[in-house]
Amino acid sequence: MGKNLKSTHEKFKKKAKKTLYKGLDTKNKNKYRPSYLESISKTLNLPADLLTGAPIVTTVGRNQICIENYKSIIEYNTNFIKIQTKACKICIEGKQLNILYYTDVEMRIDGYIQAIYYQ
């Protein structure tokens, strides 16, 4: 009973750290991962907008844009329009932007479109 007992916990902890997370990319946390509904729609070979309510953005040249499956208009002026969808926010920058019409399902924007951002 006179022997000194030394804990080997730290030794095993260091060894486990090397093997426990091997193969996992813990540094890149912003990597895109599809949602559950997106993976189901891909498996069933269905359009993503049916199950997930993903926005459909259609542009005609630089002068016209149609957005389907939106929730609300957050900000609106002649140079900037921000729209909330189920999945993200869509920001449209341009000049002389005007919302021609909007319904519960879609909206049409007219003007000189310079950029479209997804947030």
Q: Which residue has the higher pLDDT, 108 or 28?
A: 108
> How far is 7 from 17, CA to CA, in rounded Å?
17
> How far is 85 from 83, CA to CA, in rounded Å?
7
Q: Which residue has the higher pLDDT, 92 or 46?
A: 92
Domain count for the chain: 1
Q: What are phi and psi of 97, to 5 degrees?
A: -75, 140
| Residue 100 is assigned to a structural domain of this protein | yes
Residue 63 has pLDDT above 70, yes or no: yes
In eight-state DSSP terms, residue 43 is H
Residue 16 has pLDDT above 60, yes or no: yes
CATH of the domain at 94: 2.60.40.2000
| Residue 98 is assigned to a structural domain of this protein | yes
Owning domain of residue 60: 53-118
Q: How confident is the model at residue 33 (pLDDT cuts 50, 70, 90)?
A: confident
